[in-house]
Amino acid sequence: MINHVTVKVKDFEKEEAFYEAALTPLGYGKGPAFPGVQAFVAEDGSAVWVSTAAEGDAVAPIHVAFQAADNDAVKAFYEAGLANGGTDTTANPARARTTARPIMPLSCMIRKATTSKPCSPECCTRLRT
């Protein structure tokens, strides 16, 4: 099990707001914070840390998959992510799935662009089947 992951960002205030909005429906709440650093912690103790990248550090794209409790949580994650600057990463928006299929879990994928890089972290929620 992964205890935590850290996402380095250029625009801390904007990215902190995005992750707070997107992670809240998945059961993450604000945890420890320091200047330029905010943890979002789940009930099981796992955490996503959002941290300001040091001057000159590259902000590399990452992919993280989050477990969602149910369809409503996936939809809320998706909607909150889009409302806070995320974009749907599906090539065809009609392919974005917000309902479960028998052979595949319900999922959605959004991308959050940083202010300095066209590539960015991708957050994907998946419903356990």
- Domains (range + CATH), the chain: 4-127 (3.10.180.10)
CB 10 within 8 A of CB 51: no
What residues are paired with 48 via a beta bridge? Answer: 5, 40
Separation between Cα atoms, residue 78 and residue 107, nearest integer Å: 9
SS3 content of the chain, % helix, strand, coil (to 5): 25, 35, 40
Predicted pLDDT of residue 78: 81
Distance of CA 129 to the CA centre of its chain: 21
For the chain, 129 residues long, give each residue's pLDDT as a single digit of tens: 679 989 899 899 999 999 999 899 989 999 999 999 999 999 999 999 999 999 888 887 777 777 778 778 888 888 888 888 887 766 544 444 544 444 344 556 666 554 322 222 334 443 332
7-22 b/e (C-beta count within 10 Å ≥ 16 → b): bbbebbeebbebbbbb
